[in-house]
Structure 1
Amino acid sequence: MKPHVVMHMGTSIDARIVPHEWPGTRAFGEIYERIHRDLKGDAWIVGRVTMAEFGKGEPLPIKATEAYPRATWKAPGAEAGPYAIAIDQGAKLHLNINRANGDAIVAVLTEAAPDDHLAELRRDGISYLFAGKSELDLPLALDRLAADFGIKRLLLEGGGGINGSFLSAGLIDEISLMILPVADGTTGTPTLFDRPTGPGVGLTLQSVDQLENGILHLKYAITR
């Protein structure tokens, strides 16, 4: 059974999610992390671009000396969460670290990932699993996160693309949305959900709280 997925995000009043020169971003970051902890997830999940921000130094690729089975591999010391999950369909992440914000990293790959990349992940102590042959299968990824890593409650904190993919696949159960008192309006910047097309998804409002610094915190359940 897949984990319960709570999307936790912060936006401007016009749903932009990249805080270029937004006022009050430091205070927002502190409040965001506080709510992140309060949501009590077993793991949080982001896309490749977001996880790359945690990387250290230049890429250090290596050559594999063996062929690896396309099966979940759990790094030593990563037997228990919380986990930081990275969606990396193209096997392009080179992090040189094994933890993000103190949480053990797990890469979600397809079976097309080359052995060289798997060798690099093993060297760096990054766990990984496979979901799909060459295209990522999100429902399968969530099932394997639950079965192989014991994740029951997952916080989705990605960019508009991954959020849109979860929305289209019907994988989001709740939304925790922080709205900052900022108007952005920048053309072409990522928004809360970016996807080519799809029907709208109904929400049920659960609560609205006014936090410090004029931030609103809204909680929604997905209407099934």
Structure 2
Amino acid sequence: MDKATRPYIICHMVPSVDGRIVTKGWKLPGSGLAEYESTAQTFRADAWIIGRVSMEPYAGKTRIPARKTREPIPRTDFIAKHDADSYAIALDPSGKLTWKSGSIDEEHVITVLTEKVSDDYLAFLQSKGVSYLFGGKTELNLERVVQKLRKDFGIKKLLLEGGGKINGSFLAADLIDELSLLFAPVADGSIGTPSLFDAKEGKGPARQLKLFSMEKRKGDMLWVRYKVKRG
């Protein structure tokens, strides 16, 4: 895919030295989160994207009312009225997030769905001022999604901050341009917990990387940046 038709995508994460990303139990100091946020801000990204489970605390909980009308809602993208210049994006194929509003800290919310979501849910999103994009009929086509983000919202730089499966899906689709890894001074040692990239069982979609930056940060953290090699 021509990169001019999609955002430049940076996967920014805090893994352990053995590549695990579930931080519960690591006992990281508050400075660890501060380092993550401060390094993320240096990218001056237009948007950040995560999955449904990670987005739930931001979305909140509310009731989805049943519509009074039976008129079907077309499966076309919806761009809510907003004046934001940065975006919070959720991958929510089945439409399970119950948004309290269409913004998170002044960032406009975009949710990415499949066409199998209900009309009640689409009407709910419209009422909350949440923009939505369709990424496929029953499964998300990430190439299509990121092209829409560039075309419809002008997003040129996107931070990917997902779980192992989402990051792995972007890796498999060859949509990651850069890795930004803020290694925590922790050896996790667990088996079966998510790692940076969990694309599929067996042999994965290996990508060659080129190191271009390495910097010691507070709290014995190490910030390492790679470009993904192509061609």
Does the pair score TM above 0.5? yes
Task: Answer whether contact 2:19 2:195 (CA < 8 A) is retained.
Answer: yes
Task: Answer whether contact 1:45 1:158 (CA < 8 A) is retained.
Answer: yes
Task: Answer whether contact 1:44 1:154 (CA < 8 A) is retained.
Answer: yes
Q: Aligned to 2:158, what secondary structure does the other structure show?
A: strand
Structure-1-length-normalised TM-score: 0.94
Structure 1 residue 132 displacement after superposition: 1.0
C-alpha distance in structure 1 between counterparts of 2:31 and 2:172, whole Å:
32
Q: Which residue of 1 aligns with 2:162?
A: 158
Q: Structure 1 residue aligned with 2:66, among 63, 67, 84?
A: 63
Equivalence map 1:13-162=2 (5 Å) = 13-57=17-61, 59-64=62-67, 65=69, 66-77=71-82, 79-162=83-166
Structure-2-length-normalised TM-score: 0.91
C-alpha distance in structure 1 between counterparts of 2:79 and 2:20, whole Å:
36
Q: Mark the runs of 5 or more structure 1 residues left unpaired by the alignment.
A: none
Q: Aligned to 1:135, what secondary structure does the other structure show?
A: coil
Task: Answer whether contact 1:2 1:142 (CA < 8 A) is retained.
Answer: yes
Q: Which amino acid aligns with 1:214?
A: D
C-alpha distance in structure 2 between counterparts of 1:81 and 1:134, whole Å:
30
Q: Which amino acid aligns with 2:148?
A: R
C-alpha distance in structure 2 between counterparts of 1:15 and 1:26, whole Å:
20
C-alpha distance in structure 1 between counterparts of 2:167 and 2:205, whole Å:
15
Identity of aligned residues (%): 43
Structure 1 residue 123 displacement after superposition: 1.8
Structure 1 segments, 4+ long, off by >3 Å, are none
Task: Answer whether contact 2:18 2:188 (CA < 8 A) is retained.
Answer: yes
Q: Mark the runs of 5 or more structure 2 residues left unpaired by the alignment.
A: none
C-alpha distance in structure 1 between counterparts of 2:227 and 2:18, whole Å:
21
Q: Which amino acid aligns with 2:46?
A: D
Q: Output the aligned Cα RMSD.
A: 1.4
Structure 1 residue 186 displacement after superposition: 2.1
Q: Structure 1 residue aligned with 2:211, among 188, 205, 215?
A: 205
